[in-house]
Amino acid sequence: MTTTTAMPTTMLGSVRLDEVSIRIGLPGSPRRWVHAAERVSLDLVPGRVTAVVGESGCGKSVLALALMGLLPAGTITAGSIHYGDVDLLTASERVLQGIRGGGLGLIPQSAATHLNPVRTVGSTMAEALAAHGRPTGADGVRALLDELALPAGTIDRYPHELSGGMAQRVLVAMTLALRPAVVVADEPTSALDPGTARLVLAALRNHADAGHAVMLITHDLVAAREVADTVAVMYAGRLMEIGPVDPVLVRPRHGYSRALLDALPENGMTPAPGLPSSLVDPDPSVCAWHTRVGVPCVPAGRVDDDHWLACVPAGWS
């Protein structure tokens, strides 16, 4: 698949996913496989927010785990994910440990489960900052929490004393405090009300504007439309459309992208036709989306300098 932006693999601060395929085994015999990603190519570029959008279960979060070297044991991968000259799919744990935090930062889902239950927010943040050579003073920690509208006493609280939304913002603050070259944010606003969600999105936008790369994984098309520069639409483990926010989330060319927009309240909440495609041992020779809607398709490719489509209906022009 042709990527939207060509970047040299030696450039630190960028990440290139090149023909990445990921197979996760299911228990039982004969062995069956979840095809979580199929030949995914995408560039994460300094100074830009790249949003990966799609229905739940399409493989978006697996891409986040792949970037961080956190895929389950026994996972089969193909292709490459380059951060500088390091292939994150084949790098040793020792190499990955040296990259995580300051190089690659992850804002995970289920934030509360990623905080130490016997440590206060302040001590946890101070330890993370110290481990990466960042200033650890209480005033600096409080400033980071203030930026995300967390109460002054948050620094002295334990995780069980935080709401889900507060825990989420603590992790956002902790991740961004390390000033990672690349941030992978997996549904960072899912536990937040609209007001605090905007604060988090603004923090991610500011991080990109400071010269870093941000990968925003979300099912929230409104959030993606608000802060992203580039949007990659994913369905059943494959990218369907890649391009700037406009056209992808305003005037999309792929049928699946249009179906996602049709499901928004502002467009009448029209559900996508058919049933979601299974990622378990799919037929690699067919397009899952066009099979779902019963329309034959043909490969497409670039439709503009920075706009790419996986396929179009047969006879489409």
DSSP string, the chain: ---SS---TT-TT-EEEEEEEEEEEESSSS-EEEEEEEEEEEEE-TT-EEEEE-STTSSHHHHHHHHHT-PPTT-EEEEEEEETTEETTT--HHHHHHHBTTTEEEE-SSGGGGS-TTS-HHHHHHHHHHHTT----HHHHHHHHHHTT--GGGGG--GGGS-HHHHHHHHHHHHHHT--SEEEEESTTTTS-HHHHHHHHHHHHHHHHTT-EEEEEES-HHHHHHH-SEEEEEETTEEEEEEEHHHHTTS--SHHHHHHHHTSGGGT-PPPSS-PPP-BS--TTS-HHHHHHT--EEEEEEEETTEEEEEEETT--
Dmax (CA) of the chain: 63
Give the pLDDT score at 29. 86
Fold classification of 15-313 is Rossmann fold (3.40.50)
Question: Is the distance from CB of 1 to CB of 39 less than 8 angstroms?
Answer: yes
Is pLDDT larger for residue 126 or for residue 213? 213
What band does 131 get if pLDDT is binned at 50, 70 and 90?
confident
pLDDT in tens, 62-116: 999 999 999 999 999 999 999 999 999 999 999 999 999 989 999 998 777 888 8
Give the pLDDT score at 10. 35
Whether the model clears a pTM of 0.85, i.e. scores above it, the answer is: yes
In this predicted structure, the answer to whether residue 312 has a pLDDT above a threshold of 60 is yes
Which tokens hold the place of 129? 């900052």
**Cα(254)–Cα(309) distance, integer angstroms:** 7
In this predicted structure, the answer to whether residue 316 has a pLDDT above a threshold of 90 is no
pLDDT in tens, 147-167: 888 887 898 999 999 988 899
Q: Is 258 exposed, middle or buried (0-12, 13-18, 19+ CB in 10 A)?
A: middle
Share of the chain above pLDDT 90, in %: 72
pLDDT in tens, 215-268: 999 999 999 999 999 999 999 999 999 999 999 999 999 999 999 999 999 999
Give the pLDDT score at 38. 97
Return the residue matching tokens 């802060």.
227
pLDDT in tens, 5-40: 333 333 457 999 999 999 999 998 889 999 999 999
Give the pLDDT score at 240. 98
Which tokens hold the place of 83? 């951060």
Cβ neighbours for 300, distance < 8 A, ≥ 6 positions apart: 308, 309, 310, 311, 312
